[in-house]
Chain A
Amino acid sequence: MDIYAQNILDRYKKPFYKSLELGVGSLKRDKDPQPQADSYQLAKRKEANHSCGDVVEVGLEFQDEKLKQYQFSGNGCAISMAASDMLGDLTEDMTADEILAITKEEIYEILGIEISIRRSKCALLGLLALQNAILESRDEKLRGWKDYHI
Protein backbone atom coordinates (compact mmCIF):
# COMPACT_ATOMS: atom_id res chain seq x y z
CA MET A 1 0.00 0.00 0.00
CA ASP A 2 1.24 3.47 -0.85
CA ILE A 3 -1.26 6.04 0.31
CA TYR A 4 0.81 9.21 0.41
CA ALA A 5 4.31 10.19 -0.70
CA GLN A 6 7.09 9.34 1.74
CA ASN A 7 7.72 13.01 2.61
CA ILE A 8 4.17 13.34 3.88
CA LEU A 9 4.34 10.20 5.91
CA ASP A 10 7.68 11.26 7.41
CA ARG A 11 6.42 14.68 8.38
CA TYR A 12 3.25 13.20 9.83
CA LYS A 13 5.17 10.76 11.99
CA LYS A 14 8.04 13.09 12.91
CA PRO A 15 6.97 16.69 12.69
CA PHE A 16 9.49 19.49 13.31
CA TYR A 17 7.14 22.26 14.30
CA LYS A 18 4.43 20.48 16.22
CA SER A 19 4.00 21.20 19.89
CA LEU A 20 2.07 18.74 21.95
CA GLU A 21 -0.81 20.72 23.21
CA LEU A 22 -3.27 23.14 21.80
CA GLY A 23 -3.10 26.62 23.30
CA VAL A 24 -0.48 29.17 22.53
CA GLY A 25 0.53 29.26 26.19
CA SER A 26 2.28 25.96 25.56
CA LEU A 27 4.49 27.26 22.74
CA LYS A 28 8.01 25.97 22.96
CA ARG A 29 10.57 28.74 22.70
CA ASP A 30 13.64 26.96 21.37
CA LYS A 31 14.90 29.91 19.39
CA ASP A 32 13.78 32.19 22.14
CA PRO A 33 13.72 35.58 20.45
CA GLN A 34 14.07 38.35 22.98
CA PRO A 35 10.75 40.10 23.06
CA GLN A 36 11.50 43.75 22.41
CA ALA A 37 8.65 46.12 22.79
CA ASP A 38 8.30 47.53 19.27
CA SER A 39 9.67 44.88 17.03
CA TYR A 40 8.14 41.80 18.66
CA GLN A 41 4.71 40.48 17.72
CA LEU A 42 2.78 37.39 18.60
CA ALA A 43 -0.15 35.92 16.71
CA LYS A 44 -2.18 32.76 17.09
CA ARG A 45 -5.24 31.22 15.57
CA LYS A 46 -7.18 27.96 15.68
CA GLU A 47 -9.10 26.63 12.70
CA ALA A 48 -11.08 23.43 12.36
CA ASN A 49 -12.37 21.38 9.50
CA HIS A 50 -15.58 20.30 11.17
CA SER A 51 -16.56 17.81 8.55
CA CYS A 52 -13.65 15.54 9.45
CA GLY A 53 -12.85 16.75 12.93
CA ASP A 54 -9.40 18.14 12.11
CA VAL A 55 -8.09 21.02 14.20
CA VAL A 56 -4.95 23.10 13.71
CA GLU A 57 -3.76 25.91 15.93
CA VAL A 58 -0.76 27.97 14.90
CA GLY A 59 1.40 30.25 17.02
CA LEU A 60 3.63 32.84 15.35
CA GLU A 61 6.35 35.07 16.70
CA PHE A 62 7.59 37.93 14.55
CA GLN A 63 10.77 39.83 15.28
CA ASP A 64 11.66 42.88 13.20
CA GLU A 65 8.69 42.05 10.96
CA LYS A 66 9.99 38.62 10.09
CA LEU A 67 8.62 35.31 11.21
CA LYS A 68 11.09 33.85 13.65
CA GLN A 69 9.09 31.14 15.28
CA TYR A 70 6.30 29.01 13.79
CA GLN A 71 4.58 26.33 15.79
CA PHE A 72 1.39 24.41 15.44
CA SER A 73 -0.56 21.87 17.34
CA GLY A 74 -3.60 19.85 16.40
CA ASN A 75 -5.29 16.63 15.52
CA GLY A 76 -5.91 15.42 12.06
CA CYS A 77 -5.13 13.25 9.12
CA ALA A 78 -1.66 12.80 7.65
CA ILE A 79 -2.17 15.45 4.96
CA SER A 80 -3.39 18.17 7.30
CA MET A 81 -0.64 17.52 9.82
CA ALA A 82 2.15 17.19 7.25
CA ALA A 83 1.04 20.34 5.42
CA SER A 84 0.88 22.29 8.67
CA ASP A 85 4.40 21.15 9.48
CA MET A 86 5.82 22.01 6.06
CA LEU A 87 4.49 25.53 6.48
CA GLY A 88 7.23 26.01 9.07
CA ASP A 89 9.96 25.61 6.43
CA LEU A 90 8.13 27.65 3.85
CA THR A 91 7.50 30.67 6.04
CA GLU A 92 10.83 31.01 7.81
CA ASP A 93 11.89 34.66 7.83
CA MET A 94 8.89 35.72 5.74
CA THR A 95 7.09 38.95 6.45
CA ALA A 96 3.41 38.89 7.32
CA ASP A 97 2.52 40.23 3.87
CA GLU A 98 4.54 37.53 2.19
CA ILE A 99 2.71 34.93 4.25
CA LEU A 100 -0.65 36.37 3.27
CA ALA A 101 0.35 36.03 -0.38
CA ILE A 102 0.97 32.28 -0.16
CA THR A 103 -1.38 30.46 -2.54
CA LYS A 104 -2.94 27.03 -2.36
CA GLU A 105 -0.87 26.01 -5.37
CA GLU A 106 2.32 26.59 -3.40
CA ILE A 107 1.04 24.30 -0.65
CA TYR A 108 0.10 21.61 -3.16
CA GLU A 109 3.55 21.93 -4.66
CA ILE A 110 5.43 21.43 -1.41
CA LEU A 111 3.20 18.47 -0.58
CA GLY A 112 4.28 17.03 -3.91
CA ILE A 113 1.22 14.85 -4.44
CA GLU A 114 -2.00 15.24 -6.34
CA ILE A 115 -4.55 16.81 -3.98
CA SER A 116 -8.07 15.70 -4.78
CA ILE A 117 -11.01 18.00 -4.15
CA ARG A 118 -12.05 15.88 -1.20
CA ARG A 119 -8.67 16.44 0.46
CA SER A 120 -8.16 20.10 -0.39
CA LYS A 121 -9.36 21.31 3.00
CA CYS A 122 -6.98 18.88 4.69
CA ALA A 123 -4.10 20.37 2.70
CA LEU A 124 -5.08 23.98 3.39
CA LEU A 125 -6.24 23.92 7.00
CA GLY A 126 -2.82 24.98 8.31
CA LEU A 127 -2.56 27.79 5.76
CA LEU A 128 -6.00 29.04 6.74
CA ALA A 129 -5.00 29.14 10.41
CA LEU A 130 -1.70 30.82 9.56
CA GLN A 131 -3.15 33.54 7.36
CA ASN A 132 -6.08 34.17 9.69
CA ALA A 133 -3.71 34.47 12.66
CA ILE A 134 -2.14 37.43 10.90
CA LEU A 135 -5.42 38.92 9.69
CA GLU A 136 -6.93 38.60 13.14
CA SER A 137 -3.96 40.33 14.76
CA ARG A 138 -4.46 43.19 12.32
CA ASP A 139 -8.19 43.26 12.91
CA GLU A 140 -8.82 42.57 9.25
CA LYS A 141 -11.49 40.39 7.65
CA LEU A 142 -10.71 36.71 8.06
CA ARG A 143 -10.48 34.30 5.16
CA GLY A 144 -12.78 31.35 4.60
CA TRP A 145 -12.68 28.32 2.29
CA LYS A 146 -14.32 30.26 -0.51
CA ASP A 147 -11.28 32.56 -0.62
CA TYR A 148 -9.21 29.58 -1.73
CA HIS A 149 -11.75 28.68 -4.41
CA ILE A 150 -12.27 25.15 -3.17
Chain B
Amino acid sequence: MNKSDFSIFAQHPQLVYLDSAATSQKPKVVLEAIQKYYTEMNANIHRSAHFLAESATIAYEATRKTVANFIKAKHKHEIIFTRNATEAINLVARSWGETFLKAGDEILLSKLEHHSNLVPWLQLKEKIGIKIKYLDIDEVGQLIFDGSQITEKTKFVSLTGMSNSLGAITNLKPIIKRAHEVGAKVMIDACQLAVHSPIDIQELDADFLAFSAHKLYGPTGVGVLYGKAELLEKMPPFLGGGEMIQQVFEDHFVAGDIPNKFEAGTPNIAGVVAFKAALDYVNQIGFETIQKQETSLSEYALEKLKTLPYLTLIGPQEVENRGSITSFTMDKVHPHDIAEGLSQKQICIRAGHHCTQPLMDYWKLPATARASFAFYNEKEDVDRLVEGLEEVYQYFS
Protein backbone atom coordinates (compact mmCIF):
# COMPACT_ATOMS: atom_id res chain seq x y z
CA MET B 1 0.00 0.00 0.00
CA ASN B 2 2.52 2.64 1.10
CA LYS B 3 5.67 0.62 0.48
CA SER B 4 6.74 2.86 -2.37
CA ASP B 5 7.08 5.74 0.12
CA PHE B 6 9.96 3.86 1.79
CA SER B 7 13.27 3.60 -0.08
CA ILE B 8 14.42 0.52 1.80
CA PHE B 9 11.85 -1.65 0.04
CA ALA B 10 13.21 -0.60 -3.34
CA GLN B 11 16.71 -1.43 -2.13
CA HIS B 12 15.58 -4.87 -0.86
CA PRO B 13 12.64 -5.95 -3.02
CA GLN B 14 12.29 -9.27 -1.15
CA LEU B 15 12.33 -7.64 2.28
CA VAL B 16 9.55 -8.59 4.68
CA TYR B 17 10.09 -6.18 7.55
CA LEU B 18 8.21 -7.31 10.64
CA ASP B 19 10.31 -5.54 13.24
CA SER B 20 8.77 -2.09 13.21
CA ALA B 21 8.23 -2.22 16.98
CA ALA B 22 12.02 -2.11 17.36
CA THR B 23 12.33 0.73 14.87
CA SER B 24 10.18 1.66 11.93
CA GLN B 25 11.39 2.25 8.42
CA LYS B 26 11.65 5.88 7.35
CA PRO B 27 9.65 7.40 4.51
CA LYS B 28 11.49 9.31 1.76
CA VAL B 29 10.10 12.61 3.02
CA VAL B 30 12.11 12.14 6.22
CA LEU B 31 15.33 11.34 4.37
CA GLU B 32 14.76 14.36 2.16
CA ALA B 33 14.16 16.59 5.18
CA ILE B 34 17.54 15.58 6.66
CA GLN B 35 19.27 16.32 3.37
CA LYS B 36 17.44 19.63 3.02
CA TYR B 37 18.32 20.71 6.55
CA TYR B 38 22.05 20.14 6.08
CA THR B 39 22.02 21.59 2.58
CA GLU B 40 19.99 24.70 3.19
CA MET B 41 20.17 25.78 6.82
CA ASN B 42 22.75 23.94 8.89
CA ALA B 43 23.70 26.10 11.90
CA ASN B 44 23.54 25.90 15.65
CA ILE B 45 20.16 26.88 17.03
CA HIS B 46 19.31 29.50 19.63
CA ARG B 47 22.90 30.78 19.74
CA SER B 48 24.23 32.47 16.68
CA ALA B 49 22.86 35.74 15.40
CA HIS B 50 22.95 35.03 11.69
CA PHE B 51 20.36 34.14 9.10
CA LEU B 52 21.23 30.44 8.97
CA ALA B 53 20.85 30.05 12.72
CA GLU B 54 17.54 31.84 12.39
CA SER B 55 16.26 29.30 9.80
CA ALA B 56 17.56 26.34 11.79
CA THR B 57 15.94 27.61 14.99
CA ILE B 58 12.63 28.19 13.22
CA ALA B 59 12.68 24.68 11.76
CA TYR B 60 13.59 23.10 15.12
CA GLU B 61 10.86 24.97 16.94
CA ALA B 62 8.33 24.13 14.23
CA THR B 63 8.75 20.47 15.14
CA ARG B 64 8.02 21.29 18.76
CA LYS B 65 4.74 22.85 17.68
CA THR B 66 3.91 19.86 15.49
CA VAL B 67 4.61 17.43 18.34
CA ALA B 68 2.46 19.50 20.71
CA ASN B 69 -0.41 19.34 18.22
CA PHE B 70 0.20 15.63 17.63
CA ILE B 71 -0.63 14.79 21.26
CA LYS B 72 -2.91 17.80 21.81
CA ALA B 73 -0.65 19.42 24.40
CA LYS B 74 -1.80 22.86 25.53
CA HIS B 75 1.58 24.52 25.13
CA LYS B 76 4.56 23.95 22.92
CA HIS B 77 6.91 24.55 25.86
CA GLU B 78 5.52 21.36 27.40
CA ILE B 79 7.45 19.41 24.75
CA ILE B 80 11.09 18.59 25.50
CA PHE B 81 13.40 16.94 23.02
CA THR B 82 15.69 14.19 24.34
CA ARG B 83 17.77 11.52 22.64
CA ASN B 84 15.05 8.88 23.00
CA ALA B 85 12.20 7.76 25.23
CA THR B 86 14.66 6.14 27.59
CA GLU B 87 16.31 9.48 28.27
CA ALA B 88 12.90 11.12 28.72
CA ILE B 89 11.97 8.59 31.42
CA ASN B 90 15.36 8.99 33.10
CA LEU B 91 14.85 12.75 33.08
CA VAL B 92 11.63 12.40 35.04
CA ALA B 93 13.03 9.77 37.43
CA ARG B 94 16.03 11.95 38.21
CA SER B 95 14.62 15.42 38.12
CA TRP B 96 11.10 14.86 39.48
CA GLY B 97 11.88 11.68 41.39
CA GLU B 98 14.91 12.88 43.28
CA THR B 99 13.21 16.17 44.13
CA PHE B 100 9.76 15.02 45.16
CA LEU B 101 10.21 11.44 46.38
CA LYS B 102 11.80 10.30 49.60
CA ALA B 103 12.72 7.00 51.22
CA GLY B 104 9.69 4.78 51.75
CA ASP B 105 7.49 6.49 49.13
CA GLU B 106 5.75 4.04 46.83
CA ILE B 107 5.68 4.10 43.07
CA LEU B 108 3.60 1.82 40.89
CA LEU B 109 4.84 0.16 37.69
CA SER B 110 3.55 -2.97 35.93
CA LYS B 111 4.85 -6.37 34.94
CA LEU B 112 4.58 -5.32 31.29
CA GLU B 113 7.17 -2.60 31.43
CA HIS B 114 10.14 -2.20 29.11
CA HIS B 115 13.54 -2.03 30.86
CA SER B 116 13.52 1.69 30.03
CA ASN B 117 10.60 2.15 32.40
CA LEU B 118 12.07 -0.14 35.06
CA VAL B 119 15.76 0.55 35.43
CA PRO B 120 15.53 4.33 36.04
CA TRP B 121 13.13 3.57 38.92
CA LEU B 122 15.32 0.76 40.23
CA GLN B 123 18.22 3.22 40.19
CA LEU B 124 16.10 5.63 42.20
CA LYS B 125 15.28 2.83 44.63
CA GLU B 126 19.01 2.21 45.09
CA LYS B 127 19.71 5.87 45.51
CA ILE B 128 16.97 7.09 47.80
CA GLY B 129 15.11 3.96 48.89
CA ILE B 130 11.70 4.30 47.25
CA LYS B 131 9.44 1.23 47.19
CA ILE B 132 8.36 -0.18 43.85
CA LYS B 133 5.08 -2.05 43.41
CA TYR B 134 3.96 -3.80 40.25
CA LEU B 135 0.52 -4.13 38.72
CA ASP B 136 -0.21 -7.73 37.82
CA ILE B 137 -1.33 -8.82 34.39
CA ASP B 138 -3.87 -11.41 33.32
CA GLU B 139 -3.23 -14.27 30.90
CA VAL B 140 -3.65 -12.08 27.83
CA GLY B 141 -1.40 -9.32 29.13
CA GLN B 142 -4.00 -6.84 30.39
CA LEU B 143 -3.28 -4.89 33.57
CA ILE B 144 -5.31 -6.07 36.54
CA PHE B 145 -6.56 -2.97 38.33
CA ASP B 146 -9.49 -2.50 40.68
CA GLY B 147 -8.42 0.70 42.40
CA SER B 148 -6.95 -0.99 45.46
CA GLN B 149 -3.45 -1.06 44.01
CA ILE B 150 -3.17 2.71 44.41
CA THR B 151 -3.22 3.95 48.00
CA GLU B 152 -2.37 7.11 49.89
CA LYS B 153 1.23 5.87 49.91
CA THR B 154 1.43 5.87 46.10
CA LYS B 155 3.28 8.96 44.91
CA PHE B 156 4.03 8.13 41.29
CA VAL B 157 2.69 5.78 38.64
CA SER B 158 4.58 4.94 35.44
CA LEU B 159 2.97 2.60 32.93
CA THR B 160 3.20 1.58 29.32
CA GLY B 161 0.39 2.52 26.97
CA MET B 162 1.01 -0.57 24.87
CA SER B 163 3.18 -3.60 25.55
CA ASN B 164 6.11 -3.89 23.17
CA SER B 165 6.31 -7.64 23.84
CA LEU B 166 2.66 -8.61 23.60
CA GLY B 167 0.89 -5.81 21.78
CA ALA B 168 -1.72 -5.39 24.53
CA ILE B 169 -3.04 -1.83 24.77
CA THR B 170 -3.48 -0.99 28.44
CA ASN B 171 -6.59 0.60 29.86
CA LEU B 172 -5.01 3.65 31.46
CA LYS B 173 -7.82 6.07 32.18
CA PRO B 174 -9.19 4.49 35.38
CA ILE B 175 -5.65 4.16 36.72
CA ILE B 176 -4.77 7.78 35.98
CA LYS B 177 -8.02 8.95 37.55
CA ARG B 178 -7.41 6.96 40.72
CA ALA B 179 -3.77 8.12 40.92
CA HIS B 180 -4.86 11.73 40.76
CA GLU B 181 -7.43 11.15 43.50
CA VAL B 182 -4.59 10.33 45.89
CA GLY B 183 -2.38 13.11 44.53
CA ALA B 184 0.06 10.84 42.69
CA LYS B 185 1.59 11.90 39.38
CA VAL B 186 1.45 9.67 36.31
CA MET B 187 3.88 9.01 33.50
CA ILE B 188 2.96 7.07 30.36
CA ASP B 189 5.53 5.25 28.25
CA ALA B 190 3.89 5.86 24.88
CA CYS B 191 6.69 4.43 22.74
CA GLN B 192 4.41 1.90 21.11
CA LEU B 193 1.05 3.54 21.74
CA ALA B 194 1.99 6.72 19.88
CA VAL B 195 2.67 4.68 16.73
CA HIS B 196 -0.66 2.91 16.63
CA SER B 197 -3.19 5.22 18.18
CA PRO B 198 -3.91 8.95 18.33
CA ILE B 199 -3.11 10.44 21.74
CA ASP B 200 -5.12 13.20 23.37
CA ILE B 201 -3.10 14.17 26.40
CA GLN B 202 -5.89 16.45 27.67
CA GLU B 203 -8.35 13.61 27.73
CA LEU B 204 -5.83 11.08 29.06
CA ASP B 205 -4.69 13.64 31.65
CA ALA B 206 -1.28 12.02 32.22
CA ASP B 207 1.31 14.31 33.82
CA PHE B 208 4.22 13.05 31.74
CA LEU B 209 4.42 11.08 28.51
CA ALA B 210 7.42 9.78 26.58
CA PHE B 211 8.06 8.38 23.13
CA SER B 212 10.81 8.00 20.53
CA ALA B 213 10.80 9.47 17.03
CA HIS B 214 12.48 6.43 15.51
CA LYS B 215 9.51 4.14 16.07
CA LEU B 216 7.21 6.78 14.63
CA TYR B 217 8.80 6.89 11.17
CA GLY B 218 11.27 9.58 12.23
CA PRO B 219 15.07 9.51 12.62
CA THR B 220 17.00 7.85 15.45
CA GLY B 221 18.39 10.05 18.19
CA VAL B 222 15.24 12.04 18.95
CA GLY B 223 12.93 11.44 21.87
CA VAL B 224 10.00 13.39 23.23
CA LEU B 225 9.05 14.15 26.79
CA TYR B 226 5.73 15.81 27.40
CA GLY B 227 5.20 17.25 30.89
CA LYS B 228 2.56 19.51 32.33
CA ALA B 229 4.06 23.00 32.45
CA GLU B 230 3.40 23.53 36.16
CA LEU B 231 5.37 20.36 36.96
CA LEU B 232 8.24 21.00 34.57
CA GLU B 233 8.63 24.48 36.00
CA LYS B 234 9.20 23.11 39.49
CA MET B 235 11.71 20.48 38.41
CA PRO B 236 15.46 21.11 38.49
CA PRO B 237 17.47 20.66 35.27
CA PHE B 238 18.56 17.13 34.44
CA LEU B 239 21.83 17.82 32.58
CA GLY B 240 23.83 21.02 32.87
CA GLY B 241 25.53 22.94 30.08
CA GLY B 242 24.86 25.38 27.30
CA GLU B 243 21.31 26.23 26.24
CA MET B 244 19.71 25.37 29.58
CA ILE B 245 20.82 28.39 31.58
CA GLN B 246 19.89 32.00 31.99
CA GLN B 247 23.01 33.13 33.82
CA VAL B 248 26.18 31.47 35.01
CA PHE B 249 28.42 32.85 37.75
CA GLU B 250 31.51 31.39 39.30
CA ASP B 251 29.58 29.98 42.22
CA HIS B 252 26.05 29.42 40.93
CA PHE B 253 23.81 29.38 37.90
CA VAL B 254 20.25 30.36 37.10
CA ALA B 255 18.40 27.81 35.01
CA GLY B 256 16.57 28.95 31.92
CA ASP B 257 12.86 28.54 31.30
CA ILE B 258 11.18 25.41 30.05
CA PRO B 259 11.66 23.79 27.62
CA ASN B 260 15.29 24.92 27.21
CA LYS B 261 16.03 24.16 30.86
CA PHE B 262 15.91 20.47 29.91
CA GLU B 263 17.76 20.66 26.60
CA ALA B 264 21.40 21.09 27.59
CA GLY B 265 23.99 21.14 24.82
CA THR B 266 23.56 21.10 21.05
CA PRO B 267 20.66 18.76 20.32
CA ASN B 268 20.07 16.49 17.33
CA ILE B 269 18.91 19.44 15.25
CA ALA B 270 18.67 17.61 11.92
CA GLY B 271 16.80 14.75 13.58
CA VAL B 272 14.30 17.02 15.27
CA VAL B 273 13.75 18.98 12.06
CA ALA B 274 13.19 15.79 10.07
CA PHE B 275 10.84 14.41 12.70
CA LYS B 276 8.35 17.05 11.62
CA ALA B 277 8.32 15.49 8.16
CA ALA B 278 7.53 12.12 9.76
CA LEU B 279 4.63 13.50 11.77
CA ASP B 280 3.29 15.43 8.79
CA TYR B 281 3.44 12.18 6.84
CA VAL B 282 1.56 10.27 9.56
CA ASN B 283 -1.04 13.04 9.84
CA GLN B 284 -1.51 13.03 6.11
CA ILE B 285 -2.25 9.31 6.05
CA GLY B 286 -4.25 9.58 9.24
CA PHE B 287 -4.63 7.22 12.15
CA GLU B 288 -7.95 5.99 10.83
CA THR B 289 -6.25 4.54 7.76
CA ILE B 290 -3.24 3.35 9.75
CA GLN B 291 -5.40 1.55 12.30
CA LYS B 292 -7.59 0.01 9.64
CA GLN B 293 -4.61 -1.43 7.82
CA GLU B 294 -2.84 -2.58 10.98
CA THR B 295 -5.95 -4.19 12.45
CA SER B 296 -6.64 -6.06 9.25
CA LEU B 297 -3.03 -7.26 9.19
CA SER B 298 -3.22 -8.37 12.84
CA GLU B 299 -6.48 -10.16 12.22
CA TYR B 300 -5.07 -11.95 9.21
CA ALA B 301 -1.82 -12.80 11.00
CA LEU B 302 -3.61 -14.16 14.08
CA GLU B 303 -5.89 -16.26 11.93
CA LYS B 304 -2.98 -17.69 9.95
CA LEU B 305 -0.66 -18.24 12.89
CA LYS B 306 -3.38 -20.04 14.80
CA THR B 307 -3.50 -22.67 12.06
CA LEU B 308 0.09 -23.71 12.80
CA PRO B 309 -0.28 -26.35 15.53
CA TYR B 310 3.31 -26.05 16.73
CA LEU B 311 3.04 -22.33 17.51
CA THR B 312 1.88 -20.88 20.82
CA LEU B 313 0.67 -17.30 20.70
CA ILE B 314 1.76 -15.30 23.73
CA GLY B 315 -0.45 -12.46 24.94
CA PRO B 316 -3.76 -11.29 23.49
CA GLN B 317 -5.36 -13.88 21.23
CA GLU B 318 -7.83 -11.53 19.54
CA VAL B 319 -7.59 -8.19 17.75
CA GLU B 320 -9.38 -6.20 20.44
CA ASN B 321 -7.32 -3.87 22.66
CA ARG B 322 -4.10 -4.54 20.89
CA GLY B 323 -1.67 -2.95 18.53
CA SER B 324 -0.09 -4.82 15.64
CA ILE B 325 2.48 -6.83 17.61
CA THR B 326 2.34 -10.62 17.93
CA SER B 327 4.60 -12.73 20.10
CA PHE B 328 4.85 -16.49 19.78
CA THR B 329 6.97 -19.54 20.51
CA MET B 330 7.52 -22.67 18.40
CA ASP B 331 7.66 -26.18 19.85
CA LYS B 332 11.25 -27.37 20.26
CA VAL B 333 12.74 -24.47 18.30
CA HIS B 334 14.48 -21.57 20.00
CA PRO B 335 13.28 -18.09 18.94
CA HIS B 336 16.81 -17.20 17.83
CA ASP B 337 16.80 -20.11 15.43
CA ILE B 338 13.41 -19.04 14.08
CA ALA B 339 14.75 -15.54 13.47
CA GLU B 340 17.90 -16.87 11.81
CA GLY B 341 15.92 -19.10 9.46
CA LEU B 342 13.51 -16.32 8.56
CA SER B 343 16.38 -13.89 8.06
CA GLN B 344 17.76 -16.15 5.32
CA LYS B 345 14.53 -15.50 3.49
CA GLN B 346 14.84 -11.75 4.18
CA ILE B 347 12.06 -11.84 6.73
CA CYS B 348 12.98 -9.71 9.75
CA ILE B 349 11.45 -10.48 13.13
CA ARG B 350 12.79 -10.04 16.62
CA ALA B 351 13.75 -12.84 19.00
CA GLY B 352 14.59 -12.49 22.66
CA HIS B 353 13.11 -10.95 25.76
CA HIS B 354 12.34 -7.63 24.02
CA CYS B 355 13.76 -5.72 27.00
CA THR B 356 10.96 -7.01 29.22
CA GLN B 357 12.82 -9.56 31.32
CA PRO B 358 10.51 -9.36 34.35
CA LEU B 359 7.54 -10.17 32.09
CA MET B 360 9.39 -13.13 30.56
CA ASP B 361 10.39 -14.39 34.00
CA TYR B 362 6.83 -13.99 35.26
CA TRP B 363 5.56 -16.19 32.45
CA LYS B 364 8.64 -18.45 32.64
CA LEU B 365 9.57 -17.84 29.02
CA PRO B 366 13.28 -17.72 28.16
CA ALA B 367 12.41 -15.76 25.02
CA THR B 368 9.78 -15.30 22.33
CA ALA B 369 9.70 -14.52 18.64
CA ARG B 370 7.90 -11.28 17.80
CA ALA B 371 6.41 -10.10 14.53
CA SER B 372 5.32 -6.48 14.49
CA PHE B 373 3.40 -4.87 11.66
CA ALA B 374 3.23 -1.32 10.40
CA PHE B 375 0.76 0.13 7.92
CA TYR B 376 3.31 -0.37 5.14
CA ASN B 377 3.11 -4.13 5.55
CA GLU B 378 0.83 -6.19 3.36
CA LYS B 379 -1.05 -9.48 3.67
CA GLU B 380 1.58 -10.99 1.43
CA ASP B 381 4.12 -10.30 4.20
CA VAL B 382 2.03 -12.43 6.56
CA ASP B 383 1.89 -15.19 3.94
CA ARG B 384 5.67 -15.07 3.57
CA LEU B 385 6.04 -15.24 7.36
CA VAL B 386 3.77 -18.28 7.61
CA GLU B 387 5.62 -20.02 4.76
CA GLY B 388 8.92 -19.24 6.44
CA LEU B 389 7.73 -20.57 9.80
CA GLU B 390 6.61 -23.80 8.15
CA GLU B 391 10.05 -24.24 6.63
CA VAL B 392 11.83 -23.51 9.90
CA TYR B 393 9.69 -26.04 11.70
CA GLN B 394 10.33 -28.69 9.03
CA TYR B 395 14.04 -27.99 9.19
CA PHE B 396 14.23 -28.65 12.91
CA SER B 397 11.95 -31.68 13.02
Q: Is chain B found bound to chain A in the same assembly? A: yes
Which chain A residues have a beta carbon within 8 Å of chain B's beta carbons?
1-4, 9, 13, 50-55, 75-79, 119, 122
Contact of B366 among A2, A4, A53, A79 (CB under 8 A): A53
Residues from chain A with a CB closer than 8 A to the CB of B360 are 53
Nearest-neighbor residue (CB-CB) of B367 within chain A: A53
Q: Using Cβ atoms and an 8 Å threshold, which residues of chain A touch B367?
A: 52-53
Which of B334, B336, B344 has a CB less than 8 Å from the CB of A1? B344
Contact B337 A77 (CB under 8 A): yes
CB neighbours of B334 from chain A (8 A)? 54, 75-78
Cα distance, A2 to B345, chains bound together (Å): 11
Residue B340 CB within 8 A of the other chain: yes
- State the Cβ distance, B18 to closest chain A Cβ, in Å: 17
B15 on the A face (CB < 8 A): no
Complex interface: chain B residues within 8 A of A50 (CB): 353, 357
For this complex, 5 residue pairs linking A to B, each with C-beta atoms less than 8 Å apart, are A3-B395, A52-B353, A55-B366, A75-B366, A79-B336
Cβ–Cβ < 8 Å partners of A9 in chain B: 395-396
Q: Would you give the shortest CB distance from B278 to chain A, in whole angstroms? A: 27
CB atoms of B335 and A52 under 8 A apart: yes
Asked whether, in the complex, the Cβ of B335 is within 8 Å of the Cβ of A1, the reply is: no
Q: How far is the CA of A79 from the CA of B335 in the complex (A)?
A: 12
- Nearest to B394 among chain A residues (CB) is A1
B290 in contact (CB, < 8 A) = no
Query: A4 contacts which chain B residues (CB < 8 A)?
Result: 340
Question: Given A1-B394, A76-B334: A51 and B344 within 8 A (CB)?
Answer: no
Cβ–Cβ < 8 Å partners of A75 in chain B: 334, 366
Interface string of B379-397 (1 = CB under 8 A from A): 0000000000001101110
**Candidate in A4, A51, A53, A122 with the most chain B CB atoms within 10 angstroms:** A53
B352 at the interface (CB under 8 A from A): yes
Bound-state Cα–Cα, A52 to B340, Å: 13
Contacts of A52 in B (CB 8 A): 335-336, 351-353, 367
Our pick among B337, B344, B345, B351 for the contact of A78 (Cβ within 8 Å) is B337
CA distance A75 to B367 in the complex (A): 10
For this complex, into which size category does the number of interface residues on chain B fall?
A: 20 to 34
Shortest distance from the beta carbon of A9 to any chain B beta carbon, whole Å: 8
Min distance, Cβ B158 to any Cβ of chain A, angstroms: 23
On whether the beta carbons of B366 and A1 are closer than 8 Å, the reply is no
The answer to whether A1 touches B340, judged by C-beta atoms less than 8 angstroms apart, is: no
Identity of the chain B residue whose Cβ is nearest the Cβ of A78 in the assembled complex: B337
Interface flags, B334-357, vs A, CB<8A=1, else 0: 111100110011000001110001
Q: Which residues of B contact A2 (CB under 8 A)?
A: 344, 395
Decide if B337 touches A1 in the complex (CB within 8 Å). no
Nearest CB on A from B344, distance (A): 6
Additional pairs, 15, CB under 8 Å, beyond known A53-B366, A119-B340: A1-B345, A1-B395, A4-B340, A9-B395, A50-B353, A52-B336, A53-B352, A53-B353, A76-B334, A77-B334, A77-B337, A77-B340, A78-B396, A79-B336, A119-B336
Q: Distance (Å) between the CB of A59 and the closest chain B CB?
A: 21
In the bound complex, what is the Cα–Cα distance between A9 and B394 (angstroms)?
A: 13
Question: How far is it, in angstroms, between the C-alpha of A118 and the C-alpha of B345 when the chains are bound?
Answer: 17
Complex CA–CA separation, A3 to B225 (angstroms): 43
A54 contacts B344, C-beta separation under 8 Å: no
Q: How far is the CB of B115 from chain A (nearest CB, A)?
A: 10
- Assembled-state Cα–Cα distance A52/B360 (Å): 11
B336 touches A122 (CB 8 A): yes
Q: Are A1 and B391 in contact (CB under 8 A)?
A: yes
Could you give, for residues 354-374 of chain B, a 1 whenever the CB lies within 8 Å of some chain A CB and a 0 otherwise? Answer: 000100100001110000000
Nearest-neighbour CB distance to chain B for A119, whole angstroms, equals 7
Is the CB–CB distance between B353 and A3 below 8 Å? no
- CB B297 to nearest CB in A, in angstroms, measures 24
CB distance from A17 to the nearest CB of B (A): 18
Given the complex of chains A and B, what is the CA–CA distance between A51 and B339 in angstroms?
Answer: 14
B344/A3 in contact, CB under 8 A: yes
Measured CB to CB, the closest approach of chain A to B164, in angstroms, equals: 15
Per-residue contact bits, chain B 307-330, to A (CB 8 Å; 1 contact, 0 not): 000000000000000000000000
List the 9 closest A-B pairs by CB distance, nearest first: A53-B366, A77-B336, A53-B367, A77-B334, A1-B391, A3-B341, A1-B395, A52-B352, A77-B337
